[in-house]
């Protein structure tokens, strides 16, 4: 049985590809520059191998901060140009400021300009080729979805938002559409009794099952899935795909299969990880509080002019194991913000002062929370602590909401660097999905990723 050739880079493969070829393209152009022209500032040879490693490290770190490896943004050239310039600028600056590990400044200062231009050209040329070639439709993963018809559009949206190259091109409904909602254009509805040969002719490379076996998976359909598996088509369960692509745990689809998501990450009980995590808490708290003291005069003046009231305030929040504590923050709202009772902050909230808006955008309002970190009530990284009244409301509506309290709450977290700002139940569900993903997969590598993404949030002034 012949199958159309289908090449697809998985989401992790494309991120690795971007990182590796960013480095290769930059080093390649610099090597070419050194061979063709009289360029002796940066050399690639066995004697100066450290120079290349340091450059590659800076490039990877700042590329992550400036979102060069965000797949949605990596497919838009106008966004890539901006992020490449920011990345190369900081990379070159730090490279020049660490001469112990990098070459000394050349007598001909123009070589630094050539160095900077070469890095930009290398990145822009390779990223343009990535958009034209690898982000092209020929590299899309073509997916067949088996689900209840009323769920199809929602499932497609949740997957394609996170991975634009993940394309659902057809579906088999296990339940009649009761809502009357039409499935989006370009997604073909297939009959459950269709021959697997026709599925293969569509170049389907993966089948995703988003319904329990007892709900519409007939013996005939089951047998056809076995045949597809024998033909090399990947068959996966939706919650597994969803978590891998979106980096969120789909609690709304877990139902009674709660045990499948426990125990969470071994790091939750790993004494070495917990000790190193606590050491980093103290380190970041020292840096954060030192920075807060440094900018305190600016905060005092801004509060005096823009807030006109107390600079600090405390509020009860729910911490680890459901125990309450007082959180410290810089005040960003008017003094009588909750005269009508507790309520979520919203986008464009009129209770937020002008100076308070600056504090939120810059995330400076959260600096006093490092005091809570030192006291052991919070960690630098973890789910954001919520108020008891909101925890009660959300726990009654969202399954497994209180599971987020099995670890310490954090100043920043996986939900804070990924989820959009919102106040609806759907927004709270999305944040919970990210929080549970962090608890399930927490590790030193994920912690570092969150810190870097937080720096990106601060640099781009995206605080909420």
Domain presence at residue 464: no
Closest CA to 196 of 162, 222, 159: 222
Is the pLDDT score of 79 beyond 80? yes
d(CA 99, CA 50): 12
417 and 335, same structural domain?
yes
386 and 408, same structural domain?
yes
Residue 3's pLDDT is what?
Answer: 47
Q: Tens of pLDDT along 302-353? A: 888 888 888 898 999 999 999 999 999 998 887 766 666 666 665 666 678 8
Residue 54's pLDDT is what?
Answer: 92
Q: Tens of pLDDT along 133-152? A: 876 666 778 888 888 888 88
Average pLDDT over the chain reads 82
Domain presence at residue 357: yes
284 and 213, same structural domain?
no
Count of other CB atoms within 10 angstroms of residue 388: 13
Is the pLDDT score of 1 beyond 50? no
150 and 129, same structural domain?
no
Closest CA to 227 of 257, 259, 266, 199: 199
Domain presence at residue 26: yes
Classified as helix, coil or strand, 458 is helix
Domain presence at residue 261: no
158 and 130, same structural domain?
no
433 neighbors 420 (Cβ within 8 angstroms): no
- Rounded to 5 degrees, φ, ψ at 248 are -135, 150
Q: What's the average model confidence in pLDDT over 89-110?
A: 85
d(CA 441, CA 444): 10
Domain presence at residue 1: no
Domain presence at residue 50: yes
436 and 293, same structural domain?
yes
Q: Tens of pLDDT along 357-394? A: 888 888 888 999 999 999 999 999 999 999 999 899 88
Residue 104's pLDDT band, with cuts at 50, 70 and 90, is: confident
Closest CA to 440 of 387, 393, 398, 400: 400
pTM of the model as a whole: 0.75
Closest CA to 332 of 305, 313, 315, 346: 313
54 and 116, same structural domain?
yes
CB-based contacts of 16, cutoff 8 Å, min separation 6: none
163 and 84, same structural domain?
no
Q: How many domains does the chain have?
A: 3
Rg (CA), the chain: 26
363 neighbors 411 (Cβ within 8 angstroms): no
Is the pLDDT score of 296 beyond 90? yes
211 neighbors 147 (Cβ within 8 angstroms): yes
Residue 44's pLDDT band, with cuts at 50, 70 and 90, is: confident
d(CA 83, CA 73): 9
149 and 116, same structural domain?
no
443 and 389, same structural domain?
yes
Closest CA to 11 of 242, 237, 249, 202: 242
Domain presence at residue 2: no
Q: Tens of pLDDT along 387-437? A: 999 899 888 888 888 888 989 999 999 998 888 766 677 888 889 999 988
Q: Give the burial string for 217-234 (b: 16+ CB within 10 Å, else e).
A: beeebeebbeebeeeebe
CB-based contacts of 197, cutoff 8 Å, min separation 6: 1
> For residue 344, what are the domain limits?
266-459
Q: Tens of pLDDT along 173-222? A: 877 555 556 777 778 888 776 656 677 777 788 888 887 655 667 777 77
d(CA 329, CA 252): 33
Q: What's the average model confidence in pLDDT over 281-289?
A: 94
Helical segments of 130-195, H only: 152-162
Q: Which of the listed residues 134, 166, 193 is the one where a domain comes to its end?
A: 134
Q: What's the average model confidence in pLDDT over 53-78?
A: 87
Residue 5's pLDDT band, with cuts at 50, 70 and 90, is: very low
CATH number at residue 145: 3.40.50.1980
């Amino acid at each position: 049985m012949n199958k159309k050739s289908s090449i697809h880079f998985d989401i992790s493969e494309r991120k690795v590809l971007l990182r590796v070829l960013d480095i290769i393209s930059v080093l390649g152009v610099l090597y070419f520059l050194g061979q063709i022209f009289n360029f002796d500032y940066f050399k690639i040879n066995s004697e100066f191998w450290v120079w290349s490693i340091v450059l590659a490290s800076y490039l990877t770190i700042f590329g992550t901060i400036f979102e060069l490896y965000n797949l949605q943004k990596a497919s838009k050239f106008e966004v890539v140009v901006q992020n490449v310039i920011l990345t190369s600028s900081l990379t070159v600056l730090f490279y020049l400021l660490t001469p112990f590990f990098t070459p000394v400044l050349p007598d001909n200062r123009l070589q630094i300009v050539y160095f900077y231009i070469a890095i930009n050209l290398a990145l822009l040329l390779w990223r343009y080729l990535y958009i034209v070639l690898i982000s092209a439709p020929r590299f899309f993963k073509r997916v067949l979805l088996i689900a209840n018809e009323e769920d199809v559009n929602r499932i497609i949206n949740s997957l394609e938002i996170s991975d634009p190259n993940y394309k659902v091109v057809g579906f088999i409904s296990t339940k009649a559409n009761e809502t009357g909602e039409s499935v989006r254009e370009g997604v073909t509805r297939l009959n459950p009794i269709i021959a697997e040969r026709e599925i293969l002719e569509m170049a389907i490379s993966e089948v995703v099952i988003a319904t329990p076996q007892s709900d519409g998976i007939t013996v005939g359909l089951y047998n056809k899935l076995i045949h597809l598996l024998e033909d090399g088509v990947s068959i996966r369960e939706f919650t597994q795909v969803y978590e891998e692509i979106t980096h969120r745990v789909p609690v709304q689809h877990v139902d009674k299969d709660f045990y499948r998501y426990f125990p969470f990450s071994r790091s939750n009980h790993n004494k070495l990880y917990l000790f190193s995590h606590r050491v980093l808490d103290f380190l970041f708290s020292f840096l954060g509080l030192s920075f807060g003291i440094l900018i305190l005069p600016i905060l005092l003046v801004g509060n005096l002019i823009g807030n006109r009231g107390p600079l600090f305030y405390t509020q009860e929040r729910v911490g680890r194991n459901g125990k309450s504590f007082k959180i410290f923050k810089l005040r960003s709202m008017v003094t009588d913000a909750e005269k009508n009772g507790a309520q979520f902050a919203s986008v464009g909230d009129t209770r937020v002062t002008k100076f308070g808006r600056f504090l939120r955008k810059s995330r400076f309002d959260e600096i006093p929370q490092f005091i809570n970190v030192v006291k052991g009530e919070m960690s630098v990284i973890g789910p954001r602590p919520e108020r008891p009244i909101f925890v009660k409301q959300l726990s009654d509506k969202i399954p497994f909401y209180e599971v987020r309290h099995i670890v310490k709450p954090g100043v920043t977290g996986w939900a804070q660097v990924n989820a959009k700002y919102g106040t609806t139940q759907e927004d709270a569900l999305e944040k919970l999905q990210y929080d549970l993903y962090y608890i399930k997969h927490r590790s030193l590598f994920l912690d570092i990723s969150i810190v870097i993404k937080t720096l990106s949030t601060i640099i781009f002034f995206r605080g909420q």
